[in-house]
A and B are shown apart, each in its own frame.
Chain A
Amino acid sequence: EAGVAQSPRYKIIEKRQSVAFWCNPISGHATLYWYQQILGQGPKLLIQFQNNGVVDDSQLPKDRFSAERLKGVDSTLKIQPAKLEDSAVYLCASSQGTAGNTIYFGEGSWLTVV
């Protein structure tokens, strides 16, 4: 079974530029998550989708971050304009459902903002 796919794996941009990350979850997984993990910290949930609807985006900085999952499968996370503090790993994850379901992570997209 294929895992969660993410791209690009690495990205270096200048502050105020934009960047987009793509995620393809495990086949059949209805729930998709985007997490931000800053070095030395645990992952922090940015947004959670159930199929193509947003379940939780309370910690998404909406002035600069946006995410969509138009057809209930793939998802894109965009940052515009980027700030230095956005340097982090952006982890996409998926699960079959929500309550108590195991979450599986992709390899992550490493962002450095200079």
Chain B
Amino acid sequence: QKEVEQNSGPLSVPEGAIASLNCTYSDRGSQSFFWYRQYSGKSPELIMFIYSNGDKEDGRFTAQLNKASQYVSLLIRDSQPSDSATYLCAVNSPSNDYKLSFGAGTTVTVRA
């Protein structure tokens, strides 16, 4: 079982819609959860992090964490063409010396 799993996509949404990205992780002791955005040919850029169960909102982005279900999601509201990118979920855990484990990423395409 992979440590961090994401649907590879591509996820295609119309402009203005909500894009919903999902991520599951295998280590129940994981503590910190990150979402990175990676444009084609560019390096990953941190857009959100969450540590506690529940929702965390930052502008058009909302991260949702459910530790009992070992599930973290990212919602992008009012999707824009500039949101078209690959979104990487990353998780760290004290059992892994806080090394970041990345999923393979979900590619999002926002249709104008």
Give the interface of A toward B (CB within 8 A): 40-45, 48, 55-56, 89, 91, 98-100, 102-108
Instruction: Evaluate contact between B102 and A44: CB separation under 8 angstroms.
Output: yes
Residue on B nearest A107 in the bound complex, by CB:
B43
Q: Is the interface of A mostly helix, strand, loop or mixed?
A: loop
Give the interface of B toward A (CB within 8 A): 4, 8, 31-32, 34, 36, 42-46, 49, 51, 88, 90, 92, 94, 97-100, 102-105
From B4, B44, B94, B99, give the contact of A105 (CB < 8 A).
B44
Instruction: Evaluate contact between A45 and B31: CB separation under 8 angstroms.
Output: no
From B8, B51, B104, give the contact of A100 (CB < 8 A).
B51
Residues of B within 8 A of A41 (CB): 104-105
Instruction: Evaluate contact between B44 and A43: CB separation under 8 angstroms.
Output: yes
From A91, A100, A106, give the contact of B92 (CB < 8 A).
A100
Question: In the docked arrangement, what's the CA distance between A104 and B36, Å?
Answer: 10
Question: In the docked arrangement, what's the CA distance between A40 and B51, Å?
Answer: 27
Instruction: Evaluate contact between B45 and A100: CB separation under 8 angstroms.
Output: no
Min C-beta distance of A9 to chain B, whole Å:
10
Q: A40-B104, A42-B104, A100-B51 are in contact. Are A56 and B44 (CB under 8 A)?
A: no
Question: In the docked arrangement, what's the CA distance between A105 and B104, Å?
Answer: 17
Question: In the docked arrangement, what's the CA distance between A42 and B4, Å?
Answer: 10
Min C-beta distance of B51 to chain A, whole Å:
7
Residue on A nearest B51 in the bound complex, by CB:
A100
CB<8 Å pairs between A and B, sample of 21 = A42-B88, A42-B103, A44-B102, A55-B97, A56-B99, A91-B43, A99-B92, A99-B94, A99-B98, A100-B31, A100-B32, A100-B51, A100-B98, A102-B46, A102-B49, A103-B34, A105-B36, A105-B43, A105-B45, A106-B43, A108-B42
Min C-beta distance of A39 to chain B, whole Å:
11
Question: In the docked arrangement, what's the CA distance between A48 and B58, Å?
Answer: 30
Min C-beta distance of A13 to chain B, whole Å:
20
